[in-house]
Copies of this chain bind each other. A is one copy, B any other.
Amino acid sequence: MLNEPMLNSPHDCGDCPIRHRAVCARCEPLELQALEEIKYYRSFEAGQTVVWSGDQMDFVASVVSGIASLTQTMEDGRTQMVGLLLPSDFVGRPGREGAAYDVVATTDLVMCCFRKKPFERIMLETPHIAQRLLEMTLDELDAAREWMLVLGRKTAREKIASLLSIIARRDASLKMTGMAGTMVFDLPLTREAMADYLGLTLETVSRQISALKRDGVIHLEGKRHVTIPDLGRLLEEAGDDADGGVMA
């Protein structure tokens, strides 16, 4: 039903060190020089906040390695993760002033940043960059809306299954046999981060993971290393036959 925004572009453009779909210099030879000039890298440790909601955000960026999350927090501390940024994902709001949500490094993180003002100028001069950003933003919108179904209508078990299948399918190190075969990967999120993404408590996340393990839908080595013997079965658990959901 939905397309799969995060899946559709590993964007492997050879030795390009950046691999960001939107503005990869290698894919934009004409703009190479202009983009190179406004480009810089930033590193963050797990747990660090990249930008605070409402703060001025004078750059746009794409993830080089690691995972960042977009998070909203209420005054009383309730938080909801509204997006996961994996390598090659883009973050930024050309034409917008402040950040709309906290951007937090969930793992150690390297981002490739472009100063915003000149980036916007380049965008104006280079129509297909705006169009590519539009497509990516539409993908993110689809993913966000898919996630609204998860948050609003799925049970705890379905939520966990949805998240696991999404991570499994995006994980670069996945090992897959057959159409709905075995997948192996490491969870890049703590139970608490998963809870924040799923609108649950960390206790419920833990319990449901234990239940999936007990029922043989998944296997765990340690707390993070996951084996999914039958992805099709997991997708059924997710209440989501057609596709395994989408993320952003």
* Residues of A in contact with B (beta carbons under 8 Å apart): 1-3, 53-54, 70, 72, 74-76, 78-80, 82-83, 93-97, 100-101, 123-124, 127, 130-131, 133-135, 137-138, 140-142, 144-149, 151-154, 198-199, 239-241
Interface-centre pick from A74, A94, A97 (highest chain B CB count, 10 A): A74
Q: Contacts A95-B131, A130-B134, A134-B94 hold; do A153 and B78 have CB atoms under 8 A apart?
A: yes
Contact A145 B70 (CB under 8 A): yes
Contact B137 A101 (CB under 8 A): no
Across-interface contacts of A75 in B (CB, < 8 A): 239, 241
Can you list the 5 inter-chain pairs with the closest CB atoms, starting with the nearest?
Answer: A152-B199, A82-B145, A151-B151, A144-B144, A127-B127
Across-interface contacts of A144 in B (CB, < 8 A): 141, 144-145, 148
Interface-centre pick from A80, A144, A145, A154 (highest chain B CB count, 10 A): A145
A-B contact pairs, 14 of them (CB 8 A): A72-B146, A72-B148, A74-B239, A75-B239, A79-B153, A95-B131, A95-B135, A96-B138, A124-B131, A134-B137, A137-B137, A137-B138, A144-B145, A148-B151
A83-B141 Cα distance, complex, nearest whole Å: 11
Contact B74 A240 (CB under 8 A): yes
Across-interface contacts of A199 in B (CB, < 8 A): 151-153
CB distance from A2 to the nearest CB of B (A): 5
Contact B72 A145 (CB under 8 A): yes
CB distance from A95 to the nearest CB of B (A): 5
Q: Tell which of B54, B76, B152 touches A1, judged by Cβ atoms closer than 8 Å.
A: B54
Q: Which residue of B lies closest to A146 (CB)?
A: B72
A222-B72 Cα distance, complex, nearest whole Å: 36
